[in-house]
Amino acid sequence: MEANVSEFWNVVKSNLKAKNSENKLLQTWFEPTELIRYEDSAFGRRFHLGVPTELHKYWISENLFDRLCSEISSLYTQPFQVELVVTGQQGRVEPESPSALEEAMNQRSVAEAPKPTMPLDAAARRDILSPDYTFHTFVVGRYNEFAHAACFNIAENPGTEGYNPLFICGPTGMGKTHLLNAVGNHIRQKHPHLRICYLSAERFLNECISSIRRGEMEKFRLRYRERCDVLLMDDIYFLGRGEAVQEEFFHTLNDFFEKGRQVVVASDRMPKDIKGLEDRIRTRLEWGLIADIQMPDIETRVAILRYKAERRNLRIPEDAVAYVARISKRSIRELEGNLNKVKMYSELQGLDINLDLAKRVLSTHDDTASITVEDIQRLVSDHYRVRVVDLKSANRSKPLVTARQVAMFLIKKNLDKSLVEIGRYFGGKDHTTVINALRRVESQLQKDSDLKKDIDELQGRIHNITGL
């Protein structure tokens, strides 16, 4: 490789473009990328990729980074990292219009949020944590204060009884990965003698399969059970895809618990809802503490935006902050992404950030007053710990009946839907069933304080989505 770096990079680019031939924006945003230099360190080789502008860097980080690293790893098998460096305006390809800019920013891959660097040889370097993800940089609100407190307690005293394992649960983009990294960074600072393994369940699965194929399972087990004191695993739901991997993970968990070593895992669904997960693993994960994270309320979203803007040295008026917070209602990742879009657009156009600019850039996101039947069904199912599919079933168990009736009540209250339409959304129930559900909820509200509390909380979440 050292003999011909240019040829190596040309092969990477050619392979990547061939595998993503339908991506029309690849030519615009990735073609100008160049391998400007590389350097070797104790942590492996660091490739410095030059891009013309911050916008190119943003697009590649958001849409292509994981696939780029995967392509490099197919040619270079040693540990490495990738860093995107803005080199200037040479070779810059301007979007033809603001709509082209918006299209580029909106196109996202299924990959996770961009990472500054990504080591591909996990066996050689297992504890790469993002230095930006700490407890200090995590904005705490009502929606995440319990998860934050649990993670901080564990980071202070790893292996604490009752907190092992800690299961962090919440929708995508709510800060689970941030908390996992914060735990690792805090432990590294306060307990430097402890060895930390931070990885995704997908990485664990792939390594296990690879070790089985190569006949190196003893080395695999030694790596996790003897050379790791704290296991931090993201996206645990991936384990449901492999039976042999679950066997190894089960024994790894038992080994950690027997030795009093800490395990923290994160997922976008509860253990009971992870399809294909064995019961013995599910019960182990439920054995410790489960801390869930929900979408923050409007006040907390404003606080997060102010904090992010301050860190970027951005001057944004309060009305613009309030607008971005109000329309960014799906995840923290969306919240930060919208802030980045406004920042990029203002820099490219040489304009100050204000409310009008924010509305122009984010106009396609401004569906503030909209919420769907499916949204309300998901909110209710999460609140009552039931599945959406069961809300639509004929099951008449008391917990499901209550959840179903509350969902119908909230849909009728917040959406312009007829009784017949509401019934269709619940597996084809007739309108008389919907009428009875509405009447029962209304009558129970006067005398059932728990039901009133549930509905008030759910209505508050709907308010956080709609901003109304």
Residue 451: φ, ψ to 5°: -65, -40
In degrees, rounded to 5, the angle at the alpha carbon of residue 70 between the alpha carbons of residues 69 and 71 is 90
- Output the average pLDDT for the chain: 81
Tell how strand 34-41 and strand 44-51 pair up. antiparallel
Q: Which fold has domain 145-292?
A: Rossmann fold (3.40.50)
What CATH architecture applies to the domain 5-106? 2-Layer Sandwich (3.30)
Distance CA 443, CA 284 (A): 41
Q: Per-residue confidence at 256, pLDDT binned at 50, 70, 90? A: very high
**pLDDT score at 466:** 61
Q: State how far the alpha carbon of 112 is from the alpha carbons of 55, 65, 221, 333, 420, in Å.
A: 18, 9, 28, 10, 40
Do the Cβ atoms of 322 and 302 come closer than 8 Å? yes
Euclidean distance between CA atoms 269 and 249, whole angstroms: 18
Cβ neighbors of 363 (< 8 A, separation 6 or more) are none
Beta strands in 142-267 (DSSP E): 166-169, 196-200, 230-234, 262-267
Alpha carbons 61 and 111: distance in angstroms, whole number = 10
Measured distance CA(292)–CA(174) in Å, rounded: 10
Task: Using pLDDT thresholds of 50, 70 and 90, give the confidence band for residue 121.
Answer: very low
Convert the pLDDT of each residue in 328-364 to its tens digit: 877 788 888 889 888 888 888 888 898 998 888 887 7
Quick check: 38 pLDDT over 50? yes
Decide if pLDDT at 105 tops 70.
Answer: no
pLDDT value of residue 292: 87
Phi, psi of 69 (to 5 degrees): -65, -40
From 366, 369, 379, 367, select the one nearest 461 (Cα to Cα): 379
The pLDDT, as a whole number, for residue 349 is: 82
Which pLDDT score, from 0 to 100, does residue 113 have? 34
Q: Which two tokens stand for residue 323?
A: 């607008």
User: How many angstroms separate the CA atoms of 242 and 247, rounded?
Assistant: 9
pLDDT, residue 261, reads 92
Q: Which is more confident, 466 or 30?
A: 30
The amino acid occupying position 80 is F
The Cα 145–Cα 128 span in angstroms is: 26
Q: Is 467 or 466 the better-scoring residue by pLDDT?
A: 466
What is the tens place of the pLDDT at every residue in 52-68? 887 788 778 777 777 78
Minimum mean pLDDT range among 37-51, 76-90, 151-165, 254-268: 76-90
What DSSP line would sit under 286-352, residue for residue?
A: HHSEEEE--PPPHHHHHHHHHHHHHHTT----HHHHHHHHHH--S-HHHHHHHHHHHHHHHHHHT--
Under 8 Å between Cβ of 207 and 122: yes
Single-letter amino acid code for the residue at 321: V
Please state which of the four CATH numbers 1.10.3720.10, 3.40.50.620, 3.40.190.10, 1.10.8.60 is assigned to the domain occupying 298-365: 1.10.8.60
Q: How confident is the model at residue 43 (pLDDT cuts 50, 70, 90)?
A: low
What are 51's strand-pairing partners?
86
Tell me which H or E stretch contains 238. none
Average pLDDT of the residues in 454-458? 86
Q: Please give the pLDDT value at position 103.
A: 46
How much is the pLDDT for 98? 39
Neighbour count for residue 449 (Cβ, 10 Å): 9
pLDDT single digits (tens) 415-438: 877 888 899 999 888 888 899 999
Give the tens place of pLDDT for each residue, 182-192. Answer: 999 999 999 98
Among the residue ranges 73-77, 223-227, 253-257, the one predicted with the least confidence is 73-77
Protein fold of 373-466: Chromosomal Replication Initiator Protein Dnaa; Chain: A; (1.10.1750)
Rounded Cα–Cα distance for residues 265 and 252 (Å)? 13
pLDDT > 50? residue 327: yes
Q: Per-domain residue ranges for the chain?
A: 5-106, 145-292, 298-365, 373-466
User: What is the token pair recorded at 247?
Assistant: 């066997």
Contacts of 436 (CB under 8 A, 6+ apart): none
Q: Is the pLDDT of residue 127 over 70?
A: no
SS3 at position 39: strand
3-state secondary structure (DSSP) of residue 67: helix
3-class DSSP state of 226: coil
Residue 294's pLDDT band (cuts 50, 70, 90): confident
Phi/psi of residue 267, nearest 5 degrees: -160, 160
Q: Provide mean pLDDT across the span 31-50.
A: 81
* pLDDT over 70 at 468, yes or no: no
pLDDT in tens, 133-178: 899 888 888 788 899 999 999 999 998 777 889 999 988 788 899 9
8 Å CB contact between 93 and 60 = no
According to the model, what pLDDT value does residue 106 have?
45
Position 326 confidence tier, pLDDT thresholds 50, 70, 90: confident
Distance CA 224, CA 214 (A): 17
pLDDT of residue 1 exceeding 50: no
Q: How much is the pLDDT for 10? A: 83
The answer, yes or no, to whether residue 104 has pLDDT greater than 60, is no
Regarding predicted confidence, which is higher, 5 or 360? Answer: 360
